[in-house]
Amino acid sequence: MAIGLLFYKTYVGAPITVGLLEDSTIELDCTKYVLFGGAGCLDKEIAHGKVMIPTAAYRDEGTSYHYAPAADYITI
């Protein structure tokens, strides 16, 4: 059964998210994903009660280095 598009709410943490995505790629034969989850901001005036769409993130884990070139920040 091939699924063209999958909407998926991720867990917190890159390793578990990547593991589950890789499993779903095999099990569901899915090729495109729309991932959603949490994001935040240190300035309460900017983020309080608002929907945020992040455009960049500080990389403080190791999983993303397997999928994108090394850098302190990654842009989306």
pLDDT of residue 21: 80
Confidence of residue 5 (pLDDT cuts 50, 70, 90): low
pLDDT in tens, 9-60: 777 777 888 888 888 788 777 777 777 766 667 777 776 777 777 788 887 7
Q: What does pTM read for this prediction?
A: 0.50
Confidence of residue 2 (pLDDT cuts 50, 70, 90): low
- Round to whole Å and give the CA distance between 24 and 20: 6
φ, ψ of residue 71 to 5 degrees: the values are -170, 160
pLDDT of residue 25: 80
